[in-house]
Structure 1
Amino acid sequence: MTEAVATKTAETPGGTAQHGLQAHSDGGWDFGAPVQTRSARFTSTDVADFPTVTGREANWKFTPVAELGTLLDGELDGSQPSDDASGIDGLSLEWIDRTSELIGRAGTPEDRAAANAWTQFEKALYVNVSGEHTDAITLDRRGFGTEARAAHTVIEAAPQARAVVILKHTGPAHLTENVEVVVGEGAQLTLVSLQQWDEGAIHLSSHFAQVGRDASLKHIVVSLGGGIVRVNPTVHLNSEGGNGEALGAYFADAGQHLEHQVYMDHNAPHTRSRVTYKGALRGEGAHTVWIGDVLIRNSASGTDSYEQNRNLVLSEGTRADSIPNLEIETGDIAGAGHASATGRFDDEHLFYLQSRGISEEEARRLVVRGFLLEVIQQIGDADIEAELQAAIEAELTESAA
């Protein structure tokens, strides 16, 4: 096991008191100070540093934590999956020991599930991309099974590299994992995480990215399958000229919980970020969660940032939670904004299509397809885009049945 790395913050376990907050002389307070900024959250690679999750925490309050059990608190199988990296061409790929210096460069867990995975994984899958790849590189991740597992993946794009890397998740899973992404100077990396799990699969995934000088990361999440899916990307723009795009598309049907918590951290001059997540919900108990945090630090002059989330409600009995947060510590920025909207079909769109002889049901399907494909078409690979279009069509057909 490697030595745990922990950062202590205001009134977290073992931490120091928040400035200006002290106990009264007539008795101490028995609760901690609220964390005032996203960057002040407690982080650690050791699960023992985190308190038990109650579901009242800011980053867990929308999640069905009672159904996560072992992934939060129990023993996990951290061994190497049998076929986690099958069918790979055009890049360097190896399993590295948890003590490798290649691990821990992109970020540190902010929650107990991620820390539990970090504490118990045995080896990490290291993917190194160099040169320019015109075809997408797909990692077929389908060997996890139904036992509670931990996993760790490190994806590195060498300076000036160009590539599209797809993490394709299918089959059964009961998985908590961390994915580290390091984008070298001047590199352009598109990382796509596709969740097409079997019904009932549980997948908790924390992504951490470091984007180099004048480099660009396009991070795309498409969540369609699974029972509980929670993919949380964090992008650190710590070098001048870094660009981060976080895009997401999701379709939740009856009883399905799809959650995405996105964090864009601007910590260098002239950085840029764009966040666009779009989702559709249909069926009793369908639940989606999107939380978007953008932090523009005092050191990030000239920052240009915008985040948005749109949800399309297709039936009664669904719930979409959407929370954009924007923190700005400097007045010297190029622009910053956020938006969130959740609603039903636009009647004018439906009327327009029906006036041209299209049935109401087909008109609704066309609207949903167009709504989600705006994100999927950003992948840049025709084959995977066609596959996902077919998957969305299947979701719409099944939901309408």
Structure 2
Amino acid sequence: MSTPVIAGMSEEGETLLDSKVDKHHSHGTEVMASRAERLTSFTVADFKVPSGFEEEWRFTPVKKLANLFSETPSEQGAASYQVEIPSNIVERALAVNQAPRGTVLVPADRAAAVASADVAEAHYFGIPADAELTEPLKLTITGQGEGRRANSHCVLEAGANSRAVVILDHHGSADFNGNLEIIVGEGAELTVVSVQRWEDTAKHLGQHDAAVGKDAKFKHVAVSLGGAIVRLNVNARYAGEGAEAELFGLYFADAGQHLEHRTFIDHNLPNSKSNVLYKGALQGADAHTVWVGDVLIQKQAIGTDSYEKNQNLILTDGARADSVPNLEIETGLIEGAGHASSTGRFDDEHLFYLMARGISERDARRLVVRGYLNEIIQKIKVPALEEELAAALERELEASGAL
């Protein structure tokens, strides 16, 4: 069983905290089956309502999520959808069992199964082969009220050799189940950015699944700043050799917030690459973050090159970060595989260095946090969105009583 990591140092040696180290690297135990063997199903009844004792749910405040596990249909108008769509994008609705819906994403928990079953018509966005979008495709989802039930299922398909950025931006408040199904065609380069800027009362459970085609490059960036509870599962597997997947995440948890991110890279084909980096900061009583990273290298996936890393910066007492990297390797014929986890407080030497140059302690702390988290924002490569998120992060720092 994992315990919360409360202090640490990264594997390169950059100090995040000047106290004790408590690392936990899980390589599969008797309480957790192989990631590949976990249940997936379109049938809601196949998943019991979580009790919190399950390995998949043991970090999550499941008692507060009853509305999201219920098979009660979405409320009319519980969430609004605004699309900023380039002219050459194909947009249409997909019924249940209408391809390509259901070809990549199979629900891996009850919330995702509820969303899949309840949404009669999924939003489909198709990027034509060889297209190169000069502007992002942006879908803004706005919850229309605390506790209102909203289920969503979107399908995104990038044609062969296309280039595109897609942004999902979540605002307002609702009890929101959101599925995103991603198909990355041969040779395509696709970036998906999911931003969670919910109000303090929102609850969001999400599953994002991607299949990455031959010689394609897929990047997913998750940014979670708002919401009472956010739990996002991001999963990638390969549909052709030579494919690459990068999963990045940034989260900033305030008092009482629960922000949970889970990633799964399934190296199911030879000669694929993956890189996972999630970074978070926490401040305030009962601020809680969770990152669980799974990488599976199947026996046929020779030539795999994979790495995953999670870092957490705790700003005040009373905050808790759980970090659990998991790595399963079924073949020794790989280029490389590794994982790392670190959690800690400010390094006094870094602060002293800045303060010795005339910077106040408060400003020095903010500079450290800003630089620490800005690494993920810079992965987006959309200047307007990077500026917007940097400003949002600055507001979080301004409002923080710890800085």
TM-score, normalising length: structure 2: 0.89
1:341 paired to 2:342 = yes
1:63 paired to 2:66 = no
Report if the CA contact (8 A) 1:152-1:178 is conserved: yes
Instruction: Give the one of 115, 118, 121 matched to 2:119.
Output: 121
Greater mean deviation of Cα atoms: 48-57 or 370-379: 48-57
Distance change in 2, residues 1:273/1:144 (3 Å): farther
Could you tell me which residue of structure 1 aligns to residue 178 of structure 2?
177
TM-superposed deviation, 1:82: 6.8
Report if the CA contact (8 A) 1:160-1:188 is conserved: yes
TM-superposed deviation, 1:290: 0.1
Q: Give me the whole-angstrom Cα distance separating, in 2, the residues matched to 1:99 and 1:78.
A: 23
Letter in 1 for 2:310: N
Distance change in 2, residues 1:78/1:274 (3 Å): farther
**What SS does the aligned partner of 1:59 have?**
helix
Report if the CA contact (8 A) 1:85-1:141 is conserved: yes
Letter in 1 for 2:288: H
Report if the CA contact (8 A) 2:78-2:150 is conserved: no
Could you tell me which residue of structure 2 aligns to residue 27 of structure 1?
none
Could you tell me which residue of structure 2 aligns to residue 350 of structure 1?
351
**What SS does the aligned partner of 1:236 have?**
strand
Report if the CA contact (8 A) 1:191-1:219 is conserved: yes
Structure 2 counterparts to residues 33-44 of structure 1, below 5 A: 35-44=32-41
Letter in 1 for 2:136: A
Report if the CA contact (8 A) 2:84-2:137 is conserved: no
Q: Give me the whole-angstrom Cα distance separating, in 2, the residues matched to 1:81 and 1:163.
A: 29
TM-superposed deviation, 1:263: 0.2
Q: RMSD of the alignment, in Å?
A: 1.5
**What SS does the aligned partner of 1:63 have?**
coil
Report if the CA contact (8 A) 2:238-2:266 is conserved: yes
**What SS does the aligned partner of 1:69 have?**
helix
Alpha-carbon deviations, 1:363-384, whole Å to 9, x = none?
1001111111101100000110
**What SS does the aligned partner of 1:175 have?**
strand
1:397 paired to 2:395 = no
Could you tell me which residue of structure 1 aligns to residue 47 of structure 2?
50
Report if the CA contact (8 A) 2:86-2:136 is conserved: no
Q: Give me the whole-angstrom Cα distance separating, in 2, the residues matched to 1:231 and 1:97.
A: 24
1:98 paired to 2:96 = yes
**What SS does the aligned partner of 1:159 have?**
coil
1:239 paired to 2:240 = yes
Letter in 2 for 1:138: K
Alpha-carbon deviations, 1:281-318, whole Å to 9, x = none?
00111000000000000111000000000000000000
1:299 paired to 2:300 = yes
Q: Give me the whole-angstrom Cα distance separating, in 2, the residues matched to 1:96 and 1:269.
A: 32
Q: Give me the whole-angstrom Cα distance separating, in 2, the residues matched to 1:213 and 1:294.
A: 19
TM-superposed deviation, 1:138: 1.5
Q: Which is bigger in relative contact order (C-alpha 8 A, separation at least 6)?
A: 2
Could you tell me which residue of structure 2 aligns to residue 204 of structure 1?
205
Alpha-carbon deviations, 1:59-116, whole Å to 9, x = none?
1100000000121124031768774133323322222222312211112111111111
Distance change in 2, residues 1:102/1:370 (3 Å): same
Alpha-carbon deviations, 1:110-162, whole Å to 9, x = none?
11111111121121010111200122221111155441121100011000010
Q: Give me the whole-angstrom Cα distance separating, in 2, the residues matched to 1:78 and 1:43.
A: 26
Could you tell me which residue of structure 1 aligns to residue 108 of structure 2?
110
Q: Give me the whole-angstrom Cα distance separating, in 1, the residues matched to 2:79 and 2:323.
A: 37
Runs of 4+ in structure 1 deviating by more than 3 angstroms, as ranges, are: 78-83, 143-146
Report if the CA contact (8 A) 2:47-2:110 is conserved: yes
Instruction: Give the one of 75, 84, 91 matched to 1:87.
Output: 84
1:385 paired to 2:352 = no
Report if the CA contact (8 A) 2:182-2:208 is conserved: yes
Q: Give me the whole-angstrom Cα distance separating, in 1, the residues matched to 2:357 and 2:79.
A: 53
Q: Give me the whole-angstrom Cα distance separating, in 2, the residues matched to 1:67 and 1:389.
A: 31
Could you tell me which residue of structure 2 aligns to residue 21 of structure 1?
none
Greater mean deviation of Cα atoms: 77-86 or 364-373: 77-86
Q: How many residues get paired?
A: 369
Q: Give me the whole-angstrom Cα distance separating, in 2, the residues matched to 1:163 and 1:87.
A: 14
Could you tell me which residue of structure 2 aligns to residue 369 of structure 1?
370
Could you tell me which residue of structure 2 aligns to residue 281 of structure 1?
282
**What SS does the aligned partner of 2:248 have?**
strand
Distance change in 2, residues 1:35/1:400 (3 Å): closer
Letter in 1 for 2:119: F
Report if the CA contact (8 A) 1:294-1:325 is conserved: yes
Could you tell me which residue of structure 2 aligns to residue 222 of structure 1?
223
Letter in 1 for 2:42: T
Q: Give me the whole-angstrom Cα distance separating, in 1, the residues matched to 2:98 and 2:382.
A: 33
